[in-house]
Structure 1
Amino acid sequence: MKTLLCLCLAVYTAFAVPLENEKRQYSRFIQIPDGDGLLHTVDLEEQPDMGVVEAELRNSNNQYLLYTRRNTLLSQTLRINNANSITSSNFNAQNPTVVIAHGWLSNQNTNPNPILRNAFLRKADVNIIVLDWRRVAMSTYPTAVAGVPGVGRGLGQFLNFLNSVTGAPFNTMHLIGFSLGAHVVGNAGRELGGRAARVTGLDPAGPLWQLNSNRLRRTDGVYVEGIHTDGSTIGLGIGSAVGDADFFPNGGNSQPGCLTSLCNHNRAYELFAASITHTHLVGTQCSNMLQVSANTCRGSTLPLGNDNLNKQGSGLYRLNTRRSYPY
């Protein structure tokens, strides 16, 4: 009986627990959704279009769109190396700056941009800068992956310029990215030398990122947080720790009320938006991923998400949520 119990535990561990440094095996052809939820068949072995990547490196096509409480619906465009575009805008260097980066086949109007923008502006008077990197994001998935480092570096250079023009300190900047956008803001934080107060990865993309040195990592900001909601072996998220603190709601693989990988994936930004307004999403620290999966964590607690620029914490955290807002 003891031998059988050990064998069952080993099998459960192998198939149910995403190891922190595992190399997950995706099929060559997988389904990945765009920003509107439509599924696209992706060939992960397709060669990236380096012309698109090199064009981004030569001349960044990123758009930096400012929203504040003075312009909650219509954005103002900020331009790198154009000080007037910043000084004539509603940007206020005395307020915190929140940057939001979308994922693949998305743009300024697709989620999580409107959801997070509205949640932040309802909570506080902040500068919201939506990064629209559609020129690269609208390419094939392998091309977009290859373009992420250049897009991220461009964002970091823009934030350096913003600091030089306005004096807006890096310790009041919070960079947030969803899916591929999580790796974008990681590269932006790296360009800033890890000086941004916070970097948050919302279910960072998994396909082509397990062994990718350009992925989000804990040194990309003063405090780096990952929120993992679709990290199963066939999930869209990376499923393993990437930051100082990593949260695995409901175990990090599937979410209450969700029947699809897309729903699980999107729950990351939905939970984060809820955490800006509410305070009940609190994780319990786990010693390892087995505890995360088995829901046996008994350590200290740390809130998921929120807008606290001075947030600190480290380790793996699990929390259980409900199926609908505010979760």
Structure 2
Amino acid sequence: MFLWPYLTPLLLIALQLCTAFPVDRCEKFTDLSLHHALVGTSIRVRLLLYTRDNDSCAVLLSHTNLTEHPQFNLSRPTTFIIHGFRPSGSPPVWVEDFTKRLLGRGDINVVVVDWNYGAANIDYFKVVRNTYKVAENLTAFIRMMKDHNASLSSIHMIGVSLGAHISGFVGANFNGSVGRITGLDPAGPTFTGKPLKNRMDSTDAQFVDVLHTDIDALGFRAPMGHIDFYPNKGTDQPGCPKWLTGSSYFKCDHQRSVFLYLDTIDQKCSSLAFPCSSYEEFLDGKCMSCDQFGEAGCPVFGYDIIKWKEHLMNQSNTKYYFSTNEESPFCMTNYRVDVMVWNNKVHWGQVDIEIHNGTDKAMAEINHKATKFSKEEGTTMLAVFDRDIQPVKTISLKYHAGTACNSNRKLRVLRIRFTPLDHKESPLCRYDILLENKKEVKVRPIPCEETEP
């Protein structure tokens, strides 16, 4: 009590200083609840600006006066992040990580489009109608940017689910002049079968890249961009629940699109993608060539796919496939495996392959179906390993011939050749191997002879 007379003047001085020098307010993404979704929310669009100078403290942009925001440097590229349906009302768990990774890649403006008021509603059809209003709002804002000498070519719109279609509507309003649109599992319900003007498509920007991860439920099935990626067939994603065990059962495959893309922004992960008519043919090893891309090679999924833009502009309706792990890092490593056997009869079976570098190992199980091994034809397989192991010092092989009368069959391998598809290292070979059913054989590969095909 005896200190109070002395503390009071100090508190008054501190209050005066705070008033004279106000602390900038950090804007946050709108946090709503299930109650809001049940009652329903009206549309309200907030534009949250992040830059390298304020990567953790958003600035709320004005829809009418850009001169209020000296932080918004229009000479820099601008990336918009647009979320989708929010039936729980909560902010997306990935939005903060998304902004920081983007800013880690370049000195850009990142604008998070917060339309949680309008997206938080259990009535999905009402939210779909709201997407057109959000697009109108963004169109007016980008038009204002253009009036202040911003380049449309330097704008990248990344839309998640319904956000992908919002991006498409905005791009169409500028006759496809926006630089790039990335669609992360564009929403399928109410958009499937609709004309192009009512959904995102390849004419909405100078370059449109699309990722499909839930085509059998919440996502859009058909190709719709200059390049369309279908990891794990675009359906059941590894690590996602296959049975009804909670809300993650409904959203895991759909939301996986965001996390796959996140891994590519900071180049933590690199997934080679192969053009193919079906995922089954991709797994069968029938689509391992990307000769049409020349020295550029097969496209790499994600943020840096823009490097393949010139090669992709004249393609359409081509699906690109790759496989992923259950969790980050999601990328896997691909090898072409060519097997020549000298069994007189045709053998069928499955193969497990492990590669070792002395301390670590990686596994590939070629078990999606029985593989045919023929002396006359030779066999080509795609081996997808759960991670990259370099250098490869030893290789372990296990042949599964089957059961009953097939269980005693042995695969007599004249030569097995391992060709890395993700790297430019020379192929490795091994000769004269006897593989017995379910018995592991470890070999030390050697460089293939130069005269071998």
The answer for the alignment partner of 1:163 in structure 2 is: 146
Q: Kindly indicate whether the alpha-carbon contact (under 8 Å) linking 1:102 and 1:112 is maintained by their aligned counterparts in 2.
A: no
Number of aligned residue pairs: 272
Amino acid at match of 1:216: M
**Which of 114, 122, 125 is 2:104 aligned to?**
122
Q: Kindly indicate whether the alpha-carbon contact (under 8 Å) linking 2:273 and 2:321 is maintained by their aligned counterparts in 1.
A: yes
1:135 offset after TM fit, Å? 2.4
Q: CA 1:172–1:153 in 2, change beyond 3 Å: closer, same or farther?
A: same
1:308 offset after TM fit, Å? 6.2
The answer for the alignment partner of 2:73 in structure 1 is: 92
**Which of 281, 286, 308 is 2:271 aligned to?**
281
1:84 offset after TM fit, Å? 2.3
The answer for the alignment partner of 2:328 in structure 1 is: 325
For residues 234-277 of structure 1, give each alpha carbon's deviation from its aligned partner in whole angstroms, at most 9, with x where no partner exists: x1111221111100011110111111341111110111111111
The answer for the alignment partner of 2:207 in structure 1 is: 223
1:112 offset after TM fit, Å? 3.8
Structure 1: which 5+ runs fail to align? 1-34, 43-48
Separation in 1 of the partners of 2:142 and 2:90? 18
Q: State the identity %.
A: 30
The answer for the alignment partner of 1:66 in structure 2 is: 49
**Which of 141, 153, 157 is 1:175 aligned to?**
157
1:197 offset after TM fit, Å? 1.2
For residues 30-82 of structure 1, give each alpha carbon's deviation from its aligned partner in whole angstroms, at most 9, with x where no partner exists: xxxxx9999xx99xxxxxx9x95xxx6xxxx3211100011111111112221
**1:248-267 equivalent positions in 2, closer than 5 A:** 248-259=230-241, 260-267=249-256
Separation in 1 of the partners of 2:173 and 2:284? 38
The answer for the alignment partner of 1:28 in structure 2 is: none
Q: When you count helix as a share of all residues, which structure comes out higher? A: 1
Separation in 1 of the partners of 2:62 and 2:280? 47
Q: Kindly indicate whether the alpha-carbon contact (under 8 Å) linking 1:108 and 1:131 is maintained by their aligned counterparts in 2.
A: no
Q: CA 1:282–1:308 in 2, change beyond 3 Å: closer, same or farther?
A: closer
For residues 201-247 of structure 1, give each alpha carbon's deviation from its aligned partner in whole angstroms, at most 9, with x where no partner exists: 10011111112331111111011111011112xx1111221111100
1:108 offset after TM fit, Å? 9.0
For residues 126-149 of structure 1, give each alpha carbon's deviation from its aligned partner in whole angstroms, at most 9, with x where no partner exists: 100011112221232100111212
The answer for the alignment partner of 1:137 in structure 2 is: 119
**1:13-162 equivalent positions in 2, closer than 5 A:** 61-85=44-68, 88-105=69-86, 109-139=91-121, 140-162=123-145
1:163 offset after TM fit, Å? 2.0
Normalised to the residue count of structure 1, the TM-score between the two structures is 0.75
Separation in 2 of the partners of 1:277 and 1:98? 15
SS of residue in 1 equivalent to 2:117: helix
Q: CA 1:77–1:307 in 2, change beyond 3 Å: closer, same or farther?
A: farther
Q: Kindly indicate whether the alpha-carbon contact (under 8 Å) linking 1:204 and 1:238 is maintained by their aligned counterparts in 2.
A: yes
1:295 offset after TM fit, Å? 7.0
Higher relative contact order (CA 8 A, sep 6+): 1
Amino acid at match of 2:152: F
For residues 160-182 of structure 1, give each alpha carbon's deviation from its aligned partner in whole angstroms, at most 9, with x where no partner exists: 211212x2211111100111111
The answer for the alignment partner of 1:269 in structure 2 is: 258
Q: CA 1:307–1:179 in 2, change beyond 3 Å: closer, same or farther?
A: same
Amino acid at match of 1:325: S
Separation in 1 of the partners of 2:32 and 2:286? 36
SS of residue in 2 equivalent to 1:303: coil
Structure 2: which 5+ runs fail to align? 1-30, 242-248, 291-297, 331-453
**Which of the pair has more CA radius of gyration?**
2
Q: Kindly indicate whether the alpha-carbon contact (under 8 Å) linking 1:251 and 1:295 is maintained by their aligned counterparts in 2.
A: no
Normalised to the residue count of structure 2, the TM-score between the two structures is 0.55
The answer for the alignment partner of 1:303 in structure 2 is: 300
Amino acid at match of 2:136: R
Once superposed, what is the RMSD of the aligned Cα atoms? 2.8
More deviation, 202-211/294-303:
294-303
Q: When you count strand as a share of all residues, which structure comes out higher? A: 2
Separation in 2 of the partners of 1:291 and 1:221? 31
Amino acid at match of 2:81: I
For residues 93-151 of structure 1, give each alpha carbon's deviation from its aligned partner in whole angstroms, at most 9, with x where no partner exists: 23221100011127794244223212111222110001111222123210011121221
Amino acid at match of 1:230: D
